[in-house]
Amino acid sequence: MEKKQKIILDCDPGHDDAIALLLAARHPGLELLAITTVAGNQTLEKTTRNALSVCTLAHIRDVPVARGMAQPLVREARYASDIHGESGLDGPALPQPEREAVPEHAVDLIIDLVRSTDDVVLVATGPLTNVASAITREPAILSRLKGLYLMGGAIGLGNVSPAAEFNIYFDPEAAAIVFNSGCPITMIPLEVTHQALATPAILERLRALGRPVPSFVCQLLEFFGNTYRQVFGFTAPPVHDPCAVAALIDPTLVSQHSMYVAIETRGEYTLGRTVCDVYGVLGRRANACVGYGLDAPRFWELLIETLASYGEESASDG
Q: What is the phi/psi pair of residue 264, to 5°? A: -80, 120
Answer yes or no: 240 catalytic: yes
Q: Give burial (CB, 10 Å; 0-12/13-18/19+) of 192.
A: buried
CB contact at 8 A, 23 and 306: yes
CB contact at 8 A, 243 and 249: no
Beta bridge partner(s), residue 304: none
Q: Which of 59, 105, 194, 240 is catalytic?
A: 240
Distance CA 169, CA 4 (A): 33
Active site residues: 240
